[in-house]
């Protein structure tokens, strides 16, 4: 199912821990794409002309240098894990020094407070229940709700070297706003509902998918707050803001990079977010917020035990993405594959999503 290389607009090098969604977006936008990725799933290779797999993030700078020597690269985009390492003048996105600020959750907290944005309160030591978040890290992994000192001590024993913040627990719907920004002006392009993994343990609050658009009475207010936040942040290009929406909206985090919602937002809008990202990096943002034309949902399926992929699931695309190679070994708790549902409404999109999940789980039950 390898796609024909387009290369109509130029060449793009995408580097980061997980890049498939950005690689696919760049290809759809008309670029010849090269990828540096930790997984190199099947469908990434459909859209990238060449790709390199890495084990440790500190390998990325040398790989970027090699690609720039071997090929004519017009733009360089970094994603998760690589936000602060691109110094090349061809880099398009949030400058590394600004990105670094928003990869530190304690600094995010100070930024929101100083900007007058509602945010969960920091709790004093010994106050319970408390929501613990490691200062660094993405995807909500290791976030934990602790009810007492014993719970907190157990968390510290698991992660003894990780500094963390203690916030007041919040009830409400996790959601996000996808924006594009030129560094001073930001435009919201989508408001998204988020799905958490659930259950117990350090993965309970991990990101497990999303649905867009998030049909809520607070949609316009969420977009306004996100535009205010992103414009003040100095971030450039595609930027996301996470919120908890209830009686009061609280800002949670800023993501100074392409977000995991990229592909569902593009499909919902019928518009290239990759193009909007590059336009924003050149100083231009849309004058109006775009309107969705359909509802799109994505859920990530995780392994409930150590497994080896025994089937080639590429035939299920486009109902699936991030497709592992047959023979891939996946540890318990790790992501296996992304599954999608599409429709004119939330209910119809989720109904199709559930049908696809059922089909994929039939395969996984044999692994």
Query: Most confidently modeled of 139-143, 195-199, 230-234?
Result: 230-234
Q: What is the pLDDT of residues 45-72, one digit of tens each?
A: 999 999 999 999 999 999 999 999 999 9
Q: What is the pLDDT at residue 144?
A: 92
How far, in Å, are 132, 175, 241, 289 from residue 217 at the CA level? 29, 13, 18, 16
Q: In terms of DSSP bridges, do strands 329-330 and 48-53 run parallel, antiparallel, or are they unpaired?
A: unpaired
In this prediction, residue 204 carries a pLDDT of 83
Return the exposure string of 273-297: e unless at least 16 CB atoms fall within 10 Å of the residue's CB, then b: bbbbbbbbbeeebeeebbebebbbb
- pLDDT bucket at 2, cuts 50 / 70 / 90: low
Q: Could you read off the pLDDT of 67-121 as tens digits, one per residue?
A: 999 999 999 999 999 999 877 889 999 999 999 999 999 999 999 988 889 999 9
Mean pLDDT of the chain, nearest integer: 94
Q: Is the pLDDT of residue 201 over 80?
A: no
User: pLDDT category, 4, cuts 50, 70, 90?
Assistant: low
CATH classification (class only), 295-364: alpha beta
What pTM was estimated for this model as a whole?
A: 0.94
Q: How far is CA 350 from CA 34, 176, 264, 267, 356, in A?
A: 33, 18, 13, 15, 10
CATH 3.40.50.20 intervals, the chain: 10-91
- State the pLDDT confidence band at 6, using cuts at 50, 70 and 90: low
CB atoms inside a 10 Å sphere around CB 303: 18
Q: Which residues in the chain are classed under CATH 3.90.1170?
A: 295-364
Residue 309 pLDDT > 80: yes
Q: Which tens digit of pLDDT belongs to each residue from 328-340? A: 999 999 999 999 9
Token pair listed for 14: 């995408």
Does the structural domain 10-91 have CATH classification 1.10.8.60?
no
């Amino acid at each position: 199912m390898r796609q024909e290389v387009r290369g109509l607009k130029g060449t793009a090098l995408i580097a980061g821990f997980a890049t498939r969604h950005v690689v696919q977006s760049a290809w759809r936008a008309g670029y010849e794409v090269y990828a540096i990725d930790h997984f190199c799933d099947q469908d990434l290779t459909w859209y990238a002309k060449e790709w390199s797999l890495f084990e440790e993030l500190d390998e990325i700078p040398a790989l970027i240098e090699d690609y720039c020597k071997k090929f004519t690269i017009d733009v360089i985009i970094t994603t998760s894990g690589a936000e602060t390492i691109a110094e090349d003048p061809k880099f398009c996105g949030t400058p590394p020094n600004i990105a670094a600020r928003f990869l530190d959750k304690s600094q995010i907290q100070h930024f929101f407070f100083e900007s007058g944005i509602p945010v969960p309160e920091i709790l004093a030591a010994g106050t319970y229940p408390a929501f613990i978040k490691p200062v660094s890290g993405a995807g909500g992994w290791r976030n934990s709700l602790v009810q007492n000192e014993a719970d907190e001590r157990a968390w510290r024993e698991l992660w003894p070297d990780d500094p963390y913040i203690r916030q007041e627990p919040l009830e409400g719907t996790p959601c996000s706003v996808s924006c594009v920004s030129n560094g001073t002006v930001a435009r919201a392009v989508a408001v998204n509902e988020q799905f958490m993994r659930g259950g117990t343990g350090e993965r309970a609050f991990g990101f497990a998918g999303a649905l867009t658009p998030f049909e809520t009475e607070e949609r316009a207010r969420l977009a306004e707050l996100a535009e205010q936040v992103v414009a003040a942040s100095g971030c450039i290009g595609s930027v996301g803001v996470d919120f908890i929406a209830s009686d009061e909206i609280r800002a949670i985090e800023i993501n100074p990079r392409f977000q995991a919602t990229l592909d569902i937002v593009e499909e919902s809008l019928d518009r290239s977010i990759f193009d909007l990202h590059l336009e924003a990096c050149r100083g231009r943002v849309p004058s109006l917020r775009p309107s969705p034309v359909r509802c799109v949902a994505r859920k990530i399926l995780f392994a409930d035990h150590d497994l080896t992929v025994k089937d080639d699931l590429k035939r299920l695309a486009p109902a699936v993405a991030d497709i592992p190679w047959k023979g891939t070994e996946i540890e318990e708790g790790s992501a296996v594959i992304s599954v999608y549902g599409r429709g004119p409404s939330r209910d119809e999109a989720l109904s199709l999503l559930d049908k696809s999940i059922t089909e994929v789980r039939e395969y996984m039950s044999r692994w």
